[in-house]
Amino acid sequence: MEKFIIKGGKPLHGEVVISGAKNAAVAVVAATILSDQPCVLENVPEIRDINACVKILYEMGASIKIIDKNTIRIDTRGITDPVVPYELARACRGSSYFLGTLLGRFHKADVPMPGGCDLGDRPIDQHLKAFNILGATHTIDGGVVSLRADSLVGSQIYFDIVTVGGTINAMFAAVKADGLTVIENAAKEPQIVDLANFLNSMGADIMGAGTDVIKIRGVKYLKGVTYGIIPDPIEAGTYMVAAAATKGDVVIKGVIPKHLESITDKLRKAGATVEEFDEAIHVKAEGRLMKTSFKTMPHPGFPTDMQPQFSTMLSTADGVSVVTDSIFDNRFRYVNELRRFGAEVTVEGTTAVIQGVDELKGATVKATDLRAGAALVIAGLMANGTTVVEDIYHIERGYENIDDKLRALGADIERVNYYDKSRMAV
């Protein structure tokens, strides 16, 4: 197993280039199943979650060519059996997208319930509702979701809650259905717009992505294209926060500043200086940051995927910050680990109260999920002394070369192998 050893207390300085967006890439990779020709995907981040999705395609019979580290050619015409292998589906949350894409192409799908970050209960009732409305039936047996449809017919889908995955799966099932589908109360996250752009470039007819009403007129054929994934707003936000948290001065390059507005706004409220350029953001902070309260919301609100990192930054801010995150049940699990650094945080239900302390002290901690892991790395960069972050495989699910990128910004971070006795069979 691998861990990070961080000698903290050094401000980050310099430039960092952001990789392709994990949550857009998982959807776009799965979407290649709907294409009638090979596709070349560019700016694909080299991270575990994407590797897991590409492996699912390969195991199902797709032909995959890695053109370079971030460019993949995918030809899914060889897939004949719409069944996702169990152990691969468990490896990533994005595997739920194979429900929509396989249903859209084969009118049939057998997909084990998805894995991914343990953020508490992650139901797919809204996904199933959308599939049912479009004409599919579903059964769940032994943890495997099976969908069957004689035909898929466009219809009106109203989501009871705003769901990113549900919206994407409804788009997949509708894109080759007969007639018009209208998705209401749709999610508006950047990855939904990116996916719609990808599908439209192949010949789909999707309008309104990025608003809460998406209209999709089914088409019969989708051609192969070359498509570049958008930059990752959460990776960008993580470096923005790391820069401010270490009182650093960092230019974050290759980003879409519009996607980062809620983070920019809160960073400015906390006292950081944030300058926006066409494709870059400059974050600088001096002196102690100020308490800042916020609540996570679906896009364009403050993203739940940035809550652990931002809350960690606030652990040394002046005053008491109140943070509410009710999107998932388990998004405050990292707080126990954060307390090891000397942070004073109490959690009551979906709200954390953070009493800023003067400084964090290095600690040995375990990443409990992807964003929690990123937050603990930030805590290590802020802390005086040495921090050890274990279970970094969680972090590698979503951050490309995080240690190299941080080292280039002046961080003292080292990746080492270790032997974890607690995981060995006796």
Q: What is the dihedral angle through the alpha carbons of 399, 94, 172, 18, rounded to the nearest 10 degrees?
A: 0
For the bound state, the minimum distance from the C-beta of residue 172 to ligand EPU, rounded and expressed in Å, comes to: 13
| Distance, CA of 336 to chain centre | 23
Q: How far is the CB of 24 from ligand EPU (least distance, A)?
A: 8
| Residue 110 vs 235, nearer CB to ligand EPU | 235
Name the residue nearer to ligand EPU (CB basis): 223 or 258. Answer: 258
In the block, which residue shows the tokens 């343990």?
A: 118
- Closest approach, Cβ 167 to ligand EPU, in A, equals 8
The least distance separating ligand EPU from the CB of residue 329, rounded to whole angstroms, comes to: 8
The rounded distance, in Å, linking the Cα atoms of 148 and 137 is 5
**Encoded tokens for 32:** 């290649």
Write down the least CB distance from residue 214 to ligand EPU, Å: 15
Q: How far apart are CB 124 and ligand EPU at their closest, in Å?
A: 5
Backbone angles phi, psi at 127, to 5 degrees: -60, -50
Interatomic CA distance for residues 31 and 224, integer angstroms: 11
Burial class (CB in 10 A: 0-12, 13-18, 19+), 77: middle
- For ligand EPU, the closer of residues 248 and 398 by Cβ is 398
Given 39, 53, 92, 117, which residue is catalytic?
117
Termini Cα distance of the chain: 18
Which parts of this chain interact with ligand EPU (CB under 6 A)?
Answer: 22-23, 26, 93-94, 117, 122-127, 161, 163-166, 187, 303-305, 327-328, 370-371, 398
Known catalytic residue: 53?
no
**Contact (Cβ atoms closer than 8 angstroms) between residue 54 and residue 240:** no
Say what angle helices 164-174 and 125-133 make with each other, to 10 degrees: 20
Nearer to ligand EPU, 9 or 301 (CB): 301
For ligand EPU, the closer of residues 4 and 302 by Cβ is 302
Least distance from ligand EPU to the Cβ atom of residue 307, Å: 9
Q: Which residue is nearest to ligand EPU (CB)?
A: 165
Q: Which is nearer to ligand EPU, 124 or 267 (CB)?
A: 124
Nearer to ligand EPU, 121 or 348 (CB): 121
Q: How far is the CB of 202 from ligand EPU (least distance, A)?
A: 20
Of the pair 227, 317, the CB lying nearest ligand EPU is at: 227
Active site residues: 117
